[in-house]
Amino acid sequence: MTDPHYRIAVIAGDGIGPEVTAAAQRVLEATGERFGFAVEWDPIVAGGAGIDAYGTSLRDEDLDRCAAADAVLLGAVGGPKWDDPAAPARPEQALFTLRKGLGLFANLRPVSVEPALIGSSPLRPARLRGVDLLIVRELTGGLYFGKRKEAAAEGAKRAASDSLPYTEAEIRRIVRLAFQLARGRRGRVTSVDKANVLATSRLWRTVATEVATEFRDVVLEHRLVDSCAMELITHPSAFDVIVTENLFGDILSDEASVLAGSIGMLPSASLGERKTAHGIFGLYEPVHGSAPDIAGQGKANPLGAVLSAALLLRWSLGRADAAGAVERAVRSTLAAGHRTADLLGSADQGTAISTAAMTDALVAHVRGQFPPVAVPATKPPGPFRGRATGPKR
């Protein structure tokens, strides 16, 4: 195999997961050919597919295989087939096992607006100008991992509960990372909480304020999550880095996807502290779900997965050169007018192309086989542009 070569565990998952991961793999391979590296894939069956194959969403040995790779690429998990609330195994458990088991406490979700996609968002173009934000979502704490009590199957007084625990250490490490990332961007952190109600949010606010004293060059603002949800739509360009707890980050990132024109555009990186030979170990997945309604039809937008692969190149493989090429390919492909169905805004006249056709266009751009298309002179997508390395630790 060409050297260097990298090992990537691939969890295609369910619904459109296999279609979008296949696209990201093709683009990664084309990038490798151009930049002189090879990728060795380790396909792993997990999520609903894991339940069907093995009766569990993720086997222990498969978690070990993920941990042994340089990075993990994931499509999506879940679907109506496995939605029975009484079922003992759920596809989403694979995500939680991966996140917790691999120590991936930081979920980075960059949101920017591709100039070519301004018409794809329902928001007025003026609102979208200059939008370039990064949601830093805490990923291994809070409600997702707190004590849970399911309601009894029957009975007149059914009750259930979920708890939202956070330790100071968990808050400090994610807020610190947000500040480090803000240093390489516009130097602004919005810490989002519900400190007027929740005890964990009051701790969050206290710790964030303490962390800010270590970063005098970064401006910290606290914002309540309800007000943040409103500002995100009314004044999105005012945000730089948003740091928040697990569930708030989940909700705000779906909201923010409206800015980008489609949730199909958004990538994510889940990182921990562990370093590999090439970078920081991480798991990369589009923000969208398994979209069972369009699964298997070749309609899915592969760009969220492809941009996740770009984050993988940058963060886990230390290949900023290749990452930049993928991001430029996405930009050029969109500028050339290629659109999957989700990206056809009301103002667009064009017709939708398939996942495979979009991928063909991306691969051609990565290979430099298309003449460069004139695109507006704005910055490439993603929050890490121009940075050869990840955050200093």
Binding partner of residue 92 among Mg ion, ligand IPM, none, CB cut-off 5 to 8 Å per kind: ligand IPM
Q: Residue 295: what are its φ and ψ, rounded to 5°?
A: -60, 140
Binding partner of residue 62 among ligand IPM, Mg ion, none, CB cut-off 5 to 8 Å per kind: none
Asked if 345 contacts 261 with a C-beta cutoff of 8 angstroms, the reply is: yes
Exactly one of 42, 54, 100, 254 is catalytic; name it: 254
**Least distance in angstroms from the C-beta of 253 to Mg ion:** 6
**How many Cβ atoms sit within 10 Å of the Cβ of residue 62?**
22
**Least distance in angstroms from the C-beta of 307 to Mg ion:** 16
Query: Does the active-site annotation cover 194?
Result: yes
193-252 positions binding Mg ion, by CB under 5 A: 250
**Least distance in angstroms from the C-beta of 314 to Mg ion:** 22
**How many Cβ atoms sit within 10 Å of the Cβ of residue 381?**
24
- Tracing tokens 């492809």 back to the chain, one arrives at 306
**Least distance in angstroms from the C-beta of 364 to ligand IPM:** 31
Nearer to Mg ion, 59 or 90 (CB): 90
- For residue 393, give the nearest of 180, 107, 139 by alpha carbon: 180
Exactly one of 83, 162, 226, 293 is catalytic; name it: 226
245-304 positions binding Mg ion, by CB under 5 A: 250
Query: Does the active-site annotation cover 250?
Result: yes
Binding partner of residue 42 among ligand IPM, Mg ion, none, CB cut-off 5 to 8 Å per kind: none
**How many Cβ atoms sit within 10 Å of the Cβ of residue 41?**
16
For 86, the 3-state DSSP assignment is coil
Query: Does the active-site annotation cover 64?
Result: no
Nearer to ligand IPM, 240 or 250 (CB): 250
How many helices (H) and strands (E) the chain has is answered by: 12, 12
Exactly one of 6, 62, 132, 144 is catalytic; name it: 144
Strands 38-43 and 71-76: unpaired
Nearer to ligand IPM, 162 or 210 (CB): 162
Nearer to ligand IPM, 30 or 135 (CB): 135
Distance CA 38, CA 55 (A): 33
- For residue 103, give the nearest of 225, 276, 242, 266 by alpha carbon: 276
Q: Cα dist. 10→40, 224, 316 in Å?
A: 10, 37, 14
Nearer to ligand IPM, 190 or 308 (CB): 308
Q: Residue 71: what are its φ and ψ, rounded to 5°?
A: -165, 165
- Tracing tokens 């740091």 back to the chain, one arrives at 243
Nearer to Mg ion, 272 or 289 (CB): 289
Query: Does the active-site annotation cover 254?
Result: yes
Distance CA 28, CA 38 (A): 9
Exactly one of 194, 240, 284, 299 is catalytic; name it: 194
Burial of 175 (0-12, 13-18, 19+ CB in 10 A): buried
Binding partner of residue 95 among ligand IPM, Mg ion, none, CB cut-off 5 to 8 Å per kind: ligand IPM
Binding partner of residue 282 among ligand IPM, Mg ion, none, CB cut-off 5 to 8 Å per kind: none
> Residue 268 carries which DSSP code?
E
Q: Select the residue whose beta carbon is closest to ligand IPM and give its number.
A: 92
Footprint of ligand IPM (CB under 6 A): 78, 92, 95, 250, 287, 289
Handedness of CA 271, 272, 276, 282 (dihedral sign): negative
Question: Interface with Mg ion includes 132 (CB under 5 A)?
Answer: no
**Least distance in angstroms from the C-beta of 84 to ligand IPM:** 16
Q: Select the residue whose beta carbon is closest to Mg ion and give its number.
A: 250
**Least distance in angstroms from the C-beta of 268 to ligand IPM:** 7
Residues near Mg ion (CB under 5 A): 250
List the catalytic residues. 144, 194, 226, 250, 254
